[in-house]
Copies of this chain bind each other. A is one copy, B any other.
Amino acid sequence: MEEAHLNQVLLPHIAQQTDSRIVFVVLDGLGGVIGSEPTALQRSKHPNLDALARESGLGRHHPVGHGVTPGSGPGHFAIFGYDPIELDVGRGLLEALGVGVDVQQGDIAIRGNYCTVDETGVLVDRRAGRIATDASAPLSAAIGEAIAKIGDVRVEMHAGLQHRFALVLRGPGLEGHVADTDPQRTGVPPLLARSRDPQSAKTARIANAVIERAREVLAGRDVANSILLRGFSSRPTIATLGELAHLRPCAIAAYPAYRGVASMLGMEMIQGVGPKSSIADEVTALEDAWSKDHDFFFLHVKGTDSAGEDGNTDAKAAVIEEFDAVLPRIRSLNPDVIVITGDHSTPGPLAAHSWHPVPLLISGPWVESRKAETFDEVTCHDGFLGNNLPAPAILRLALAQAGKLTKFGA
């Protein structure tokens, strides 16, 4: 991706560390489809967003490319300035990083589910009745203790939310090209872990041994009796935002996958927020973290995407209103630059992520504003930031407004 490549070759040379501070808000799945029914942005009342929009640069961006519907990982990498194609990062890695595991080069991170199989080994529930976190965490502890090591490979089990866990394999000669064991449907037995290349054969062998030993440990319990493994992944080499743009970034994100993205990019994780936090709680965490130690504050809001995926545009509008209500608290911190955008669109009518371009707002001392009356897909499309912006350009535009970029060339 050309804009991401430009970041790689140029930013380390033209970016400079300054005291100016950027707040980078991701309203997950923000965009809708301009059409016969109003989008969530169009049907919600958000006077504070409107007031900020009037004095900000507006536009719409494409996270991956025209027509491409991005997953959360690619969407976030793109808006933070990276090439989402090159960084086709496995979900296992994002989850493991997200629950706080220090995944290192050479480790294999895997996303796991507790599940239920019948006496013939056939899968009857892929999520073991979505067991509560309180019930699943002891299972992860017991399995981790029982296995610990297989040959020269250390096996780490990390509890996740509900039926989820992260499995990390650490040892010599592991590669991550292994297919999921989750058949994605019930009524059939779970698959064996199979390697897609010879270099990954050892990983598959260890994974199958883990599954077997986990079943032995789970045999005496009734909440779940087996596990499914997917998203086998290793940690790619990637420049942090510090290395790329001399930033000192931190992240306020409640959910593992987004914490995983932030961790990969070298953001310090602000503690004290979790899946039960409100947006106001997140802003409180931002206020607590507000200091000269950081100059880039990623604030992730999940509710817009969840409501969009549920096909509930009104609920999505309510999340936008909830964010609007706390925006004055963010502004009263006097950040030099505020970015408000999404990692992709999640239109209510589609009830899914989509390829539609994503609204973008960038405030700062030198923005070009059309003085739009409101902040929505149409005013963003017509804004002076342009309507076909490749997402990795957003980082440069924010850095420029923050006075963090020097001239390129004499």
Using known A-B contacts A64-B408, A69-B407, A84-B409, determine if residue A35 contacts B368 with beta carbons closer than 8 Å.
yes
User: Which A291-309 residues have C-beta < 8 A from chain B?
Assistant: none
Is the CB–CB distance between B67 and A408 below 8 Å? no
Q: Does A34 interact with chain B (Cβ within 8 Å)?
A: yes
Q: In whole angstroms, how far apart are the Cα atoms of A67 and B69 in the complex? A: 25
Whether A368 contacts B68 by the Cβ 8 Å rule is no
Tallying the copies of this chain within the complex gives 2
In the complex, chain B residues whose CB is within 8 Å of the CB of A69: 400, 405-408
Give the size of the chain A interface in residues (CB under 8 angstroms).
64
In angstroms, Cα B216 to Cα A32, docked, is 71
A66 touching B3, Cβ below 8 Å: yes
Residue of B nearest to A352 (CB): B407
Residues of B within 8 A of A410 (CB): 71-73, 90-91, 94, 231, 257
User: Does A355 lie at the interface of the complex (its beta carbon under 8 Å from any beta carbon of B)?
Assistant: yes
Note all chain B residues with C-beta closer than 8 A to A377.
368
- Bound CA–CA A118/B69 (angstroms): 64
Q: Per-residue 0/1 for A83-96: is the Cβ within 8 Å of any B Cβ (1 yes, 0 no)?
A: 01100111100100
Q: List B contacts of A192 (CB < 8 A).
A: none
- Asked if A35 contacts B369 (CB within 8 A), the reply is yes
Whether B34 and A88, one on each chain, are in contact in the complex, defined by CB atoms closer than 8 angstroms, is no
B-chain residues with CB within 8 Å of residue A353 when the two chains form the complex: 407
Pick 17 A–B contacts, CB within 8 A, sort by A.
Answer: A6-B64, A10-B65, A10-B68, A14-B68, A33-B366, A33-B368, A66-B393, A67-B395, A67-B397, A69-B406, A72-B409, A72-B410, A73-B410, A84-B409, A89-B409, A231-B410, A356-B368
**A6-B65, A10-B85, A368-B377 are known contacts; what are 19 more A-B pairs with Cβ within 8 Å?**
A6-B64, A35-B368, A35-B369, A66-B389, A66-B397, A67-B395, A67-B396, A68-B405, A69-B407, A70-B409, A71-B409, A74-B409, A89-B409, A350-B366, A355-B400, A355-B405, A381-B384, A386-B387, A386-B388
